[in-house]
Structure 1
């Protein structure tokens, strides 16, 4: 089986390749603020489709890819764009909580299950508490467009053109991006033309759920036992000095609170829970 570096360096040697983009990022324009130091990572950028989109709108993304050939072509079209060449399966070389927005456009579906989980966990860690992951993934409906494929023991992982390709349905997305770690802002499956070929994909927008952005709000339904245990565990581990686990559990049980992804524990303390 080919390495991903070898495969993509060969693929990006085709002549006359230039970045082009669809406007999928338009709907997230409010998430891109005007701060010059906003840190945006284009992970698995290829020749720079999304980096071009962002650069034309005044942003300064860091374009990251495993392929030196892809980054060379990107620099030919976007000479001022910062680039970083690395293999995401070996780690993401950004500090914890240092990224505002991470874009992974059709770049996370080339790995076995353990590696995929590792990459997603690293992304979660690298995003700040208000960060955003914008991601597109192969749909299971895309398998028929891939020609000759060989299924592995993992029914969502196939070999094609000498590399692994993973395909997702909604249940698989929710398994890898579990709702106890990610808040779903957007999810949709659709078809478009990419490099003149029909492609079916999922688009998801996610924010990391952390102990600092979980609070309780009133509603008429009691939280589940799992929700209360999750909240107690988070506070015990990360904020023992702010609110005791026993008091939090009592509040959750006696009042009708529900866990939602908004606000902060500091805000909850200021409001008297």
Structure 2
């Protein structure tokens, strides 16, 4: 799938840098390294992973300064991922049943220090160009779309996912043309309390 520049991280770079002076940034689901390159170009140490071997190979070539691994998000995080000040998860938390999604977010919280930020983007229930409300329903707002499980979030689900142990910094509904067609998503920044 072709992709275009999507500078969503740029406004957040000063805050990410301020929180990552003594620890690397963990990027979950780095794909071909678009966000990895932005983070590395900002002078940050980056530990990244993705499930796709092809994507990891491309990201390693693109950002040789980053530590990039092929890893499933459900597996333990890299050993260096502890006491983190920032974690990035752009469009990588939507493949799982609700209970597993909640568990993954808790595991992310567990590797962060208090005051650390999680910056993530989540599929929106308005993301009709990429399968929202389509395919075979598995559970509420979770579908098998062309054989691929995909979760779509409404505002209530985003709030529920980050309720309790996170302080909301920002939550906005946006559209991007990163994948040529308009994609609806939630951009969320939360602080570990």
* TM-score after normalising by structure 2: 0.89
Separation in structure 2 between the aligned mates of residue 49 and residue 56 of structure 1, nearest angstrom? 11
Structure 1 residues 129 and 200, CA, compared in 2 at 3 Å: closer, same or farther?
Answer: same
Between structures 1 and 2, the one with greater helix share = 1
The residue that corresponds to 1:262 in the other structure is none
| Larger mean Cα displacement after TM superposition, 30-39 or 77-86 | 30-39
What is the distance in 1 between the residues matched to 2:99 and 2:140?
15
- Distance between the aligned counterparts of 1:26 and 1:97, measured in 2? 24
Aligned residue pairs, count: 191
Q: Deviations over 1:182-224 (max 9, x none)?
A: 1000000011101212100000000112xxxxxxxxxxxxxxx
Q: TM-score, normalised by structure 1?
A: 0.64
SS at match of 2:94: coil
Equivalent of 1:176, from 150, 157, 161? 161
Aligned to 1:188: 172
User: 1:147-205, CA deviations, whole angstroms, 9 ceiling, x for partnerless residues?
Assistant: 59324241210111211000001100111111x11100000001110121210000000
SS of the equivalent of 1:140 reads coil
Deviations 1:134-154 (Å, cap 9, x if unpaired)?
000000000x21359324241
* Distance of aligned partners of 1:34 and 1:173 in 2 relative to their CA distance in 1, 3 Å threshold: closer
Q: CA RMSD in A?
A: 2.2
Contact kept in structure 1, 2:23 and 2:83, CA below 8 Å? no
Correspondences of 1:94-133 after superposition (within 5 Å): 94=79, 97-133=82-118
Cα 1:35/1:145, change in 2 over 3 Å:
closer
Q: Where in structure 2 are there 5+ consecutive unaligned residues?
A: none
8 Å contact kept, 2:124–2:186? yes
CA contact (8 A) 1:96 1:128 kept: no
In 2, are the aligned partners of 1:43 and 1:105 still within 8 Å (CA)? yes
Q: Name the counterpart of 2:41.
A: 56
Correspondence for 2:147 among 140, 162, 183: 162
Which structure has the greater CA radius of gyration?
1
Q: How does 1:1-273 map to 2 (within 5 A)?
A: 21-31=5-15, 32-33=17-18, 37-94=22-79, 97-142=82-127, 144-146=128-130, 149-178=134-163, 180-209=164-193
Relative to structure 1, is the Cα distance of residues 129 and 38 closer, same or farther in structure 2, using a 3 angstrom cutoff?
same
1:66-87 CA-partner distances (Å, limit 9, x unpaired):
1111110112222222112211
Q: Which runs of 5+ in 1 are unaligned?
A: 1-10, 12-16, 210-273
- Given that residues 5 and 178 in structure 2 are in contact (C-alpha distance below 8 angstroms), is that contact kept between their aligned partners in structure 1? no
Contact 2:135 2:146 in 1 (8 A): no
